[in-house]
């Protein structure tokens, strides 16, 4: 396309004659070009020069095929590195460098301090204690007694439903269907093993197929919505905390007293007290789902760096931190994250910069056997969250929180 043609298209977009999402129709499906046209049109519409947004190196055609619509370019989120972080998991073993994409000053430095503390303490022990991506359609029945029968029928036909659901996916396996009843509403919480994928879309498609089959074979059950908010996706939820979703992870470390004092500039007693009065009593006072200091910060920074669904930061914020003084006077610390929705394939994991971040961690792409990469990744995230908690709670115990921010000029 020559410049004049391009200019014509830009003008038409500005005038609204061509809509943003129609531009590809005029570029032979070239999204790289369409992105430029949209960006130029938007510059004129708003009077803003989009120099940096236009300076991207990722493949727009790939992105437009899978990750974005109406693309105009990309934002750049700075990435810092924390580590080495020594992790002993079932899948992860060894030292990891953790990429963190954030614009919150002091966060990388803080996590880095925690990593150093953990590594010097012999490493964090981590386990994935539960695994499964869920989706829960809501069905309306004529009445509750019919809904109850329906729930029984579903369990009786589990194998058929499983076959239908799994026909839509190469990797996903339906593990179970948990059932909930409220009045005449029946909620079926489908749980899948999605291997290395976070799996939300895979699961949605599979469940839609299952729903179709169910409605055909049990006509009294009318699916009102393929998601009935009992899944629970991207809303903080006690159900997820109690039953788990995605990967449930627990990470822990025992930090010797002298390491606490040297690295963290405080004492095990002071940290246990902060954890008790803030993370437990404080959260209980405020009605929080989330008995921690800032799980969300670490989850968010890793998620953006590695192309996870950024709205899943919500689910990753509801966990627990415990800190206790051991009989030997050392510090025992743990984090429990009930709902960590991570994957190493699909979604944003294939965008070039994000994939590089996964490669830094050694977990890009599908694992062998399937599922092992995502679990290794989950374990490293768990350890990194633990690092973040150690560092922030120590800063609070030492009275240094604002100081850190002040030094960084914020």
Q: Is 21 a known active-site residue?
A: no
Shortest Å, Cβ 333 to a second copy: 8
Per the CB < 8 A criterion, the answer to whether 122 and 385 are in contact is: no
- CA-atom Rg of the chain in angstroms: 24
Stretch that binds a second copy, among 4-12, 63-71, 159-167, 370-378 (CB under 8 A): 63-71
Residue 23 is a binding residue for a second copy (CB under 8 A): no
Stretch that binds a second copy, among 4-12, 106-114, 258-266, 366-374 (CB under 8 A): 106-114
Spatial CA neighbour of 295 closest among 315, 324, 265: 315
Residue 58 is a binding residue for a second copy (CB under 8 A): yes
Binders of a second copy in range 220-239 (CB under 8 A)? 223-230, 232-239
Q: How far apart are CA 40 and CA 31, in angstroms?
A: 14
Binding mask 324-363 for a second copy (x = CB under 8 A): --------x-xxx---------xxx--xxxx-xx-xx-x-
Counting every residue written for the chain, the total comes to 410
Stretch that binds a second copy, among 4-12, 169-177, 204-212, 370-378 (CB under 8 A): 204-212
Shortest Å, Cβ 28 to a second copy: 19
C-beta closer to a second copy: residue 55 or 217: 55
Shortest Å, Cβ 339 to a second copy: 12
Residue 171 is a binding residue for a second copy (CB under 8 A): no
Residue 76 is a binding residue for a second copy (CB under 8 A): yes
Residue 15 is a binding residue for a second copy (CB under 8 A): no
Using CB under 8 A, pick the residue from 29, 32, 66, 261 that binds a second copy.
Answer: 66
Using CB under 8 A, pick the residue from 25, 163, 281, 328 that binds a second copy.
Answer: 281
Per the CB < 8 A criterion, the answer to whether 158 and 213 are in contact is: no
Q: Is 400 a known active-site residue?
A: no
Burial label for 273, CB within 10 Å (0-12, 13-18, 19+), is middle
Q: How far apart are CA 207 and CA 209, in angstroms?
A: 5
Residue 374 is a binding residue for a second copy (CB under 8 A): no
Spatial CA neighbour of 245 closest among 236, 257, 258, 255: 236
Handedness of CA 7, 10, 16, 21 (dihedral sign): positive
251 SS3 class:
strand
Per the CB < 8 A criterion, the answer to whether 337 and 312 are in contact is: no
Q: Is 171 a known active-site residue?
A: no
- Residues in Cβ contact with 184 at an 8 Å cutoff, skipping those fewer than 6 apart: 140, 141, 142, 143, 144, 146, 147
* Catalytic sites, residue numbers: 104, 309, 405
């Amino acid at each position: 396309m020559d410049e004049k043609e391009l200019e014509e298209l830009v003008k038409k977009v500005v005038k609204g004659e061509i809509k943003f999402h129609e531009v590809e129709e005029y570029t032979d499906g070239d999204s790289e070009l369409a992105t430029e046209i949209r960006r130029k049109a938007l510059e004129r519409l708003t009077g803003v020069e989009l120099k940096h947004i236009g300076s991207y190196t990722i493949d727009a055609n790939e992105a437009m095929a899978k990750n974005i619509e109406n693309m105009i370019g990309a934002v750049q989120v700075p990435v810092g590195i924390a580590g080495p972080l020594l992790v002993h998991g079932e899948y992860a073993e060894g030292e990891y460098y953790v990429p963190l994409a954030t614009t919150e000053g002091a966060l990388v430095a803080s996590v880095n301090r925690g990593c150093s503390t953990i590594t010097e303490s012999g490493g964090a022990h981590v386990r994935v204690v539960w695994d499964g991506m869920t989706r829960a359609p809501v069905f309306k029945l004529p009445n509750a007694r019919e809904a109850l029968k329906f729930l029984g029928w579903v369990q009786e036909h589990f194998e058929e439903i499983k076959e239908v659901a799994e026909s839509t996916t190469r990797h996903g396996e339906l593990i179970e269907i948990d059932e909930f009843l409220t009045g005449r509403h029946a909620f079926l919480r489908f749980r899948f093993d999605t291997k290395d994928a976070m799996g939300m879309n895979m699961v949605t498609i599979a469940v839609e197929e299952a729903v179709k089959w169910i409605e055909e074979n049990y006509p009294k059950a009318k699916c009102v919505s393929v998601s009935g908010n009992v899944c629970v996706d991207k809303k903080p939820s006690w159900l997820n905390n109690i039953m788990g979703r995605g990967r449930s992870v627990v990470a822990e470390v025992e930090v010797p007293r002298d390491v606490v004092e040297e690295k963290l500039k405080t004492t095990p007693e002071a940290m246990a007290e902060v954890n008790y009065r803030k993370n437990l009593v404080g959260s209980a006072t405020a009605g929080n789902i989330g008995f921690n200091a800032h799980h969300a910060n670490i989850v968010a920074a890793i998620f953006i760096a590695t192309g996870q669904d950024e709205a899943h930061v919500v689910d990753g914020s509801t966990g627990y931190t415990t800190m206790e003084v051991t009989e030997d006077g050392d510090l025992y610390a743990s984090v429990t994250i009930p709902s960590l929705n991570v994957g190493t394939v699909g979604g944003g994991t294939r965008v070039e910069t994000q994939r590089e971040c996964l490669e830094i961690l050694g977990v890009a792409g599908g694992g062998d056997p399937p599922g092992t990469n995502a679990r290794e990744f989950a374990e490293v995230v768990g350890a990194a969250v633990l690092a973040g908690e150690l560092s922030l709670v120590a800063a609070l115990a030492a009275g240094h929180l604002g100081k850190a921010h002040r030094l960084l000029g914020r």
